[in-house]
Amino acid sequence: MDQKVLRSVGLLRAFVVLSAVVLAGGAVVLGFVLSHSVRSEAMNDRRDSLAQYVDGVLAPELEHNGHLAITRVLPPEMARQLANRPDILSVKVWRPDGVIAYTNLEPDRIGKRFEIDDDLKEALGGEGEAAFANFAKQEDEAEAGLGVKHVVEAYVPIRVSASGPPIGAYEIYANATKLVASIAARQRLIWAATGGVFLVLWLGSVLLVRGASSTLRRQWRELQEHSAALAESYEKLETSTLEAIESLNATVEAKDPYTAGHSKRVHDISLQIGLRLGLSEPELDALRYGALFHDIGKIAIPDAILTKPAALTDEEYELMKTHSLEGARIAAKFGRLRESVPVIRHHHERWDGRGYPGGLADERIPRSATIVGLADAWDAMTTERPYSAALSHVAALEELRLGRGTQFSPEVVDAMLGLASEGKILVQRAPAPVDHTALNSVSSVK
């Protein structure tokens, strides 16, 4: 399977694991938040219930002219009412100065002043509070001796009117056994519901990821099939394109029987030089087609000029020189030949800058174009034509040496000479006189 697809599937699996971690973390946080909320709400409800009951029983006896009176004994009816709430273990009534105005446990504490702690200070300031008792304060010794495991300690401000300032505070201790059980049950329900919801969400993400993974694999297989079909179609199109170009090239060569096989010979020599110079595969590919179709632009040159058995006039020569540009224009229309366009366009440039069509010199000429230019000139020199006699192998090599650094690239000439010394060039021809006029005409034009 394609590495990108495998990477995508791996990312989906990583998402499943990460989502499990995130959802689990979210479930834990939400569970703690909801549990704390349930506990706080239950404690506040219990505080309000106790405060309402105790205030209803004790307020008529304790409140006098907006102040709390120290009361050591309650009237029997009030004592019975207070006893009707067996969950109420102890009640302390505090005045703002820290004096206990009343308590139902150890009445000896009544009238005594104790240190005001933070919870009591907040209640005397108008804010209520409820929490599980820890009996850490000196005045809590009586309550600590009750032996009840779970005790709620509630602080409630005492007001004469709803909007008036507190005149004291109740400190109420109540049995919280049932409250603890109720809170625990509700917290278990919260944890179960939270865990269930997040589990469903995670399972949903797993199913989605599995579906996405299956879809991704299916689409990858379909893409592979489409790619294979496209590659086959492209290969057929490329083959048809090259066949069409080869047909055009054959048409060009058919116009002049003396140049038959010229493109193939230029192609073979160019590749030998390119391999010797160490061209890369893409460069060799561009060289291969550039050499094979370097003269395809001659399709636009009139037959009378192509097959003329004598030297060309200046006007005819200028028209002949357009074949490299015309060939580049034709090749540019075919994607397979796009990299070969510079080769076709510039294979008649000279190292000294006196070539055409751009008048490029030295390193500015594409390297592959200098190779094809030399191979083209070599074949022209060593092929018998009506207007020029073929040179011998030795004579043609000498012409290459003479043109080194002027007409031809030095490194390309050196490569060609190296191939000749190793016997990798065309078979030696019979010696013939060197005709420099014909050589210049042929190598510059065709």
Q: Is the pLDDT of residue 444 over 50?
A: no
pLDDT tier at 415 (50, 70, 90 boundaries)? very high
Tokens in use for 327?
């060939």
Indicate whether 382 belongs to any domain.
yes
274 and 178, same structural domain? no
Q: CB–CB of 432/391 below 8 Å?
A: yes
Query: Does 439 have pLDDT greater than 50?
Result: no
Q: Domain containing 130 — which CATH number?
A: 3.30.450.20
351, 407 Cβ separation under 8 angstroms: yes
**78 and 174 inside one domain:** yes
Residue whose tokens read 């224009």? 329
Q: What percent of the chain has pLDDT over 70?
A: 88
Write out pLDDT tens, residues 256-315: 666 678 888 999 999 999 999 999 999 999 999 999 999 989 888 888 888 887 888 999
Query: Does 143 share its domain with 273?
Result: no
Give the residue from 150, 173, 189 where a domain finishes. Answer: 189
359 and 431 co-located in one domain: yes
309 and 434 co-located in one domain: yes
Residues 88 and 178 reside in one and the same domain: yes
Mean pLDDT of the chain: 84
Q: Is residue 209's pLDDT more than 80?
A: no
* 190 Cβ contact partners less than 8 Å away, ≥ 6 residues apart: 31, 34, 35, 38
Question: What pLDDT shows up at residue 220?
Answer: 75
Residue 349 main-chain phi, psi, to 5 deg: -75, 155
User: Is the residue at 236 inside a domain?
Assistant: no
- In angstroms, the CA 290 to CA 369 distance is 8
pLDDT of residue 95: 93
Quote the pLDDT of residue 238. Answer: 66
pLDDT of 441 above 50: no
Do 8 and 120 lie in a common domain?
Answer: yes
- Given phi > 0 = left and psi -120 to 50 = alpha, else beta, which region is 270? alpha
Q: Span 364-368, mean pLDDT?
A: 96
Nearest to 437 by CA among 376, 402, 389, 392: 389
163 lies in some domain = yes
Residues 401 and 301 in one domain: yes
Residue 406 maps to a domain:
yes
Question: Do residues 150 and 11 share a domain?
Answer: yes
168 and 289, same domain (yes or no): no
Residue 137 within a domain: yes
Structural domain of 164:
3-189
Q: 331-335: long-range contacts (C-beta < 8 A, 24 or more apart)?
A: 331/245, 331/289, 331/293, 331/296, 334/241, 334/245
Q: Which of 316-330, 363-377, 423-437 has the lowest mean pLDDT?
A: 423-437
Q: Is residue 205 in a domain?
A: no
User: 239 lies in a domain?
Assistant: no
Q: Is residue 440 part of a domain?
A: yes
**Residue 308 is part of a domain; what is its CATH number?**
1.10.3210.10
pLDDT at 426: 54
Nearest to 416 by CA among 277, 267, 279: 277
| Pair 181, 256 in one domain | no
User: How many domains are there within the chain?
Assistant: 2
Instruction: Tell me the C-alpha distance between 11 and 208, whole Å.
Output: 13
pLDDT band at 147 (very low <50, low <70, confident <90, very high): confident
pLDDT digits 0-9 by tens, 154-175? 999 998 887 889 999 999 999 9
Give bridge partners of residue 129 from the DSSP assignment. 155
Percent of the residues in the chain that have a pLDDT greater than 90, as a whole number: 35
Rounded Cα gap, residues 415 and 412, in angstroms:
5
Q: Which of 189, 205, 224 is the last residue of a domain?
A: 189
Q: What is the mean pLDDT of residues 344-353?
A: 96
Lowest mean pLDDT among 27-41, 256-270, 286-300, 367-381: 256-270
Confidence grade of residue 433 (pLDDT, cut at 50, 70, 90): very low
**Same domain for 409 and 316:** yes
pLDDT for position 234: 66
Span 96-120, mean pLDDT? 90
More confident residue, 138 or 59: 59
Largest CA distance in the chain: 151
Which of residues 189, 204, 231 is at a domain's end? Answer: 189
pLDDT band at 93 (very low <50, low <70, confident <90, very high): very high
